[in-house]
Amino acid sequence: MNVELITIGNEVLSGRTLDTNFAQIARALEEVNVTVAWHATVGDTLERIGEAIRHALSRADAVVVTGGLGPTPDDVTRKAVAAVLGRKLQLNEQVLESIRERARRQGRTLPASVESQALLPTGAHVLPNPVGTAPGLLLMHHDTPVFLMPGVPQEMEAILRESVVPWLRDRAGQRVATVTLRTSGVSESALQEKIGGLATHWPGATLAYLPSYFGVDLRVTAAGADAVTVERLAERARAELLDRVEAVVYAEGGRTMEDVVGEALVARGLTIAVAESCTGGLLAKRLTDTPGSSRYVERGYVTYSNAAKIELLGVSEADLERYGAVSAEVATQMARGAAERARAGVGVGVTGIAGPDGGTEAKPVGTVFIGVSDSAGVAVRRVALFGTRATIRERAAQTALDVVRRRILGLPLETKLD
């Protein structure tokens, strides 16, 4: 099944809003082996929306549209779709009452314009929106389904997961199983070299390499008519991949590095304190993004200046002058100082050069030192990262989490494929 996604909104075309909806929808459809063959982004005009939908209907097996279902004058998706499909807009009393009931529960008085969201093309099937007022819609044009979803990300995601994905998965006529192995500290090319042509021996399954700031995910998608056969193939692929790259796999599925670190800390009854320079609080943010992190996150220090490192963490002024703020010696003292002053079982110190300036021949931009202190002492790792200032900071935080994970689990701090 080939699907076309249409994103609607002037704010997306202007660059003011990132099109995260497209990425979310594409990932969700990939998981059920539905192919996104085309993607279009159009502005909030009847003519352009209508043209995009007509074009999609001429080539796609299904059309998924997001955006333009709100109550403001530029929300014209319903009107454009009705015109293309030759439908009238009619007031749906059930949707109208649902909108009013939601407002009553929240103690709000809705403007009359909100009720325009109950004007639906004739023959539209309502897809419930559990977190907003504008419902999703499904319209059949001959044999081609056209899905309409709001552009608000949390509303779109709820309708996508509860209505759109199940409908398309069932119509695709295949059973699908996916396996995701998450790796850190190794390049896509190194993984490809290690894995080689392994995937060619999995009939009915594909292997995708999905690089990001945080590492490379390996995603296996197995599809077929028989659920048992598909599950067995996916498990076989998982086992064979782990046999080759387990040394750099930190999690499976959607689990994040901070989730894994948190679980390891809780399992050992440890707390953690972080001291950050170049990451400026990103490491603490990542750790506290996980619900329940108050069980193990004790505190964080953002010690950007040398004075802050001295005053808050007890870093030696003489060592700062001798070795520089970006050094193994300072990372060691930052980690130890964070652990001691917070009375935490684990302390982390991160110091580096995020750029774009400040690098030297001995310590170029992207040089980062990560220290980890625990009851066994302090270990330090030096890494050379690349990218923009923002990506270096993100990669430094991810690498620091991986260093903590490895230290807690008793693994080598260096990331290497066997």
- Name the 3-class secondary structure at 88: coil
**35-49, 100-114, 129-143, 230-244: least confidently modelled range:** 100-114
**324-348 residues labelled b (16+ CB within 10 A) or e (exposed):** bbbbbbbbbbbbbbbbebbebbbbb
Please tell me which residue, 406 or 102, carries the higher pLDDT value: 406
Q: Tokens 């009375």 appear where?
A: 343
**Residue 418 clears pLDDT 80, i.e. is over it:** no
**Residue 33 clears pLDDT 90, i.e. is over it:** no
Q: What is the pLDDT of residue 339?
A: 98
Interval 68-93: pLDDT, tens: 998 888 889 999 999 999 999 999 98
Q: Order across the sheet with 205-212: list the strands.
A: 205-212, 215-224, 175-183, 249-252
Q: What is the pLDDT of residue 107?
A: 82
Share of the chain above pLDDT 70, in %: 100
Enumerate residues 6+ apart whose C-beta is below 8 A from 344. 270, 271, 272, 273, 298, 299, 338
Contact 349, 273 (CB under 8 A): no
Burial class of residue 318, CB neighbours in 10 A (0-12, 13-18, 19+)? exposed
Q: Please give the Cα distance from 114 to 15 (Å, whole number).
A: 27
Q: Please give the Cα distance from 393 to 30 (Å, whole number).
A: 30
Contact 216, 183 (CB under 8 A): yes
Kindly list the distances between the CA atom of residue 372 and the CA atoms of 262, 274, 325, 384, 413, in Å, as whole numbers in the listed order. Answer: 15, 9, 16, 18, 10
Give me the chain's average pLDDT, please. 94
Q: What is the pLDDT of residue 213?
A: 85
Consecutive H or E run containing 286: helix 282-288
Q: For residue 294, what are its two tokens?
A: 């108050």
pTM of the model: 0.79
Q: Please give the Cα distance from 71 to 416 (Å, whole number).
A: 54
**Selection from 83, 215, 61, 232 nearest residue 147 by Cα:** 61
Q: What is the pLDDT of residue 44?
A: 93
